C-alpha cells in the first residue's frame, strides 16, 4: 500500500503523499504542527480525512500525546514501522555494509563484510544480493513492500546511470565503470539509487537533527577524503560526479606528489596512506610492519599502541584536515560541520586537533557548530533511506 501510494504521481494523491512525507520526516508529530510543516495547502477538513485514510490503511498510527498546556493533550502521529522497508548498502574501501531499514528508517538488521584484495565488484555485488535476499526472506518482505535500495560508495560516480566509475584505493582490481544499479535492479526490480558516501552522511545528519542547519559540510577522512556540501538545504552535486575534489585542495605547491599528478593536495597529508608512508619514512620499525595485511581498525590500533612514536605525524594530518575544512567554511559560510572517519573516532586527540585547527583559521570567528559525524553508526543508513524516500517526490 505505501509503495503504491508513493508511486502514484497523480495530482489527486499529492496531498496524502505530502501528509505522509511530513509525518515520516518529523513524526511523532501533532496535527497542528503537521499542518504548519505542509508544503502544499490542505484544508483542516481535508487533513482530518487524509489522516483517517492513512490510519485505516495502516500507514500511520497514533502513539502517545504531547504535553498539554491546558485542555485535551494533542495526539501524536507517527509512521507504522512495517509500512515499508528499505535496503541501504555502503561500499567503501574498508568494508561493505548491508542494512535493512523499516519505514521509520530504524535498523532492523545489518551485516558487514571486510573488503580485501579478493573483493572484486562481482564478488561484492553477489554478496550484497545474497544478504539482501536473506533479509527479505527472514522478515517475509515482498517486493511490493520494498520501497527501494540505496547504495552509497566513494566517487567518482555516474549517479544518473548508476555507475561506480573508478574509486581510488579499493584493494581489489576491477572497480572500473561498475554498473551497479543496473545489476541490482535486474535482481530486485525496485527503485535503486546510487549516492556518494559523503552525501549520504550529510543527508543523514540533516534529517536526524531536530533543528537542522541548511548550510553544512559533512567530511569523511580515511583512506581518502570526501566532502558533502549542503547550501540552503540542497545537496550540491558536482557536475563531474565527485565529492573528493576537497581531497585535492592544494595545501603546498611544493608538497608531496599526489596520485592525481599535482603536488601538495590535502589528501597527501590527511589520508591514511599518506600517514603510513610518512611513518615508514620516519622509522625503520614502521617499515617492517605489513600494513596491507591489517584492517583499517587494526591499523589504527597499532598507531594508538605506538602513540609516542606516531602522534606527531598523525596529529599533523589532523591540523591539515582542519586547514582544509576552514578554507571551505571561509568560502561557503557553513553553519555546521560534521567530521567523521576512523581516526576521528579512535585516535586520541585527533578530533580535538582538527577542531583547534579550524577554530584558529575560520575568518571573522563566526559561530559554527562542529561535531563528530556518525559515519560508523546509523547516520549514513538514515541518509540513504531518506534519499530513497526523496526519490518518490
Ligand atoms: Zn591530488
What is the extent of the structural domain holding 73? 2-80
d(CA 329, CA 93) in angstroms, rounded, equals: 27
d(CA 104, CA 313) in angstroms, rounded, equals: 43
* Shared-domain flag, residues 300 and 219: yes
For residue 257, report the distance from its CA to the centre of ligand 1, in Å. 8
Q: Which of 63, 80, 97 is the last residue of a domain?
A: 80
* Shared-domain flag, residues 255 and 336: yes
Cell of 149: 535500495
Percent of the chain whose pLDDT exceeds 90: 73
d(CA 314, CA 8) in angstroms, rounded, equals: 52
* Shared-domain flag, residues 198 and 212: no
For residue 365, report the distance from its CA to the centre of ligand 1, in Å. 29
List, for the chain, all residue ranges whose pLDDT scores fall below the cut of 50. none
* Shared-domain flag, residues 354 and 230: yes
Cell of 260: 592525481
- Domain total in the chain: 3
* Contact status, residue 151 vs residue 89, Cβ threshold 8 Å: yes
Tell me the pLDDT tens digit for each residue of 352-389. Answer: 999 999 999 988 877 889 998 765 668 899 999 999 99
For residue 248, report the distance from its CA to the centre of ligand 1, in Å. 4
Q: CATH number of the domain that 23 lies in?
A: 1.10.10.10
* Shared-domain flag, residues 238 and 340: yes
For residue 217, report the distance from its CA to the centre of ligand 1, in Å. 20
* Shared-domain flag, residues 231 and 359: yes
Q: What is the pLDDT of residue 377?
A: 65
Burial of 312 (0-12, 13-18, 19+ CB in 10 A): exposed
* Shared-domain flag, residues 235 and 363: yes
For residue 228, report the distance from its CA to the centre of ligand 1, in Å. 18
d(CA 57, CA 242) in angstroms, rounded, equals: 41
* Shared-domain flag, residues 60 and 126: no
Q: CATH number of the domain that 347 lies in?
A: 3.30.420.40
For residue 264, report the distance from its CA to the centre of ligand 1, in Å. 7
For residue 296, report the distance from its CA to the centre of ligand 1, in Å. 22
d(CA 98, CA 113) in angstroms, rounded, equals: 9
Q: What is the pLDDT of residue 10?
A: 92
d(CA 294, CA 342) in angstroms, rounded, equals: 14
* Shared-domain flag, residues 233 and 344: yes
* Contact status, residue 220 vs residue 197, Cβ threshold 8 Å: yes
* Contact status, residue 162 vs residue 100, Cβ threshold 8 Å: no
Amino acid at each position: 500500500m505505501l509503495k503504491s501510494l508513493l508511486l502514484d504521481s497523480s495530482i489527486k494523491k499529492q496531498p496524502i503523499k505530502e501528509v505522509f512525507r511530513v509525518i515520516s520526516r518529523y513524526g511523532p508529530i501533532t496535527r497542528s504542527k503537521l499542518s504548519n510543516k505542509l508544503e502544499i495547502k490542505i484544508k483542516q477538513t481535508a487533513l482530518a480525512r487524509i489522516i483517517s485514510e492513512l490510519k485505516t490503511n495502516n500507514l500511520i498510527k497514533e502513539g502517545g500525546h504531547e504535553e498539554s498546556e491546558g485542555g485535551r493533550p494533542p495526539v501524536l502521529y507517527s509512521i507504522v514501522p512495517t509500512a515499508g522497508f528499505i535496503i541501504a548498502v555502503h561500499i567503501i574501501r574498508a568494508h561493505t555494509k548491508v542494512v535493512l531499514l523499516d519505514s521509520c528508517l530504524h535498523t532492523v538488521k545489518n551485516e558487514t563484510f571486510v573488503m580485501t584484495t579478493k573483493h572484486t565488484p562481482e564478488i561484492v555485488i553477489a554478496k550484497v544480493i545474497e544478504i539482501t535476499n536473506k533479509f527479505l526472506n527472514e522478515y517475509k518482505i515482498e517486493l511490493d513492500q520494498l520501497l527501494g535500495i540505496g547504495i552509497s560508495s566513494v566517487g567518482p560516480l555516474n549517479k544518473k546511470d548508476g555507475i561506480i566509475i573508478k574509486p581510488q584505493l579499493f584493494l581489489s582490481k576491477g572497480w572500473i565503470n561498475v554498473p551497479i544499479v543496473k545489476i541490482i535492479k535486474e535482481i530486485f526490480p525496485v527503485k535503486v539509487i546510487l549516492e556518494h558516501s559523503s552525501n549520504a552522511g550529510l543527508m543523514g545528519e540533516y534529517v536526524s537533527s531536530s533543528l537542522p542547519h541548511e548550510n553544512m559540510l559533512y567530511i569523511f577522512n580515511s583512506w581518502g577524503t570526501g566532502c558533502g556540501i549542503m547550501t540552503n538545504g540542497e545537496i550540491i552535486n558536482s557536475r563531474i560526479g565527485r565529492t573528493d575534489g576537497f581531497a585535492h585542495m592544494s595545501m603546498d605547491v611544493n608538497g608531496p606528489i599526489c596520485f592525481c599528478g599535482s603536488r601538495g593536495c590535502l589528501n597527501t597529508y590527511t589520508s591514511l596512506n599518506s600517514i603510513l608512508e610518512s611513518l615508514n619514512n620516519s622509522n625503520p620499525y614502521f617499515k617492517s610492519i605489513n600494513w596491507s595485511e591489517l584492517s583499517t581498525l587494526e591499523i589504527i590500533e597499532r598507531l594508538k599502541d605506538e602513540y609516542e612514536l606516531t602522534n606527531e605525524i598523525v596529529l599533523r594530518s589532523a591540523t591539515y584536515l582542519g586547514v582544509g575544512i576552514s578554507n571551505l567554511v571561509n568560502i561557503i559560510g557553513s553553519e555546521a560541520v560534521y567530521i567523521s572517519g576512523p581516526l576521528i573516532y579512535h585516535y586520541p586527540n585527533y578530533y580535538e586537533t582538527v577542531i583547534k585547527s579550524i577554530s584558529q583559521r575560520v575568518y571573522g570567528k563566526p559561530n559554527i557548530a562542529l561535531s563528530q559525524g556518525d559515519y560508523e553508526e546509523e547516520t549514513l543508513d538514515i541518509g540513504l533511506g531518506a534519499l530513497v524516500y526523496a526519490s518518490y517526490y
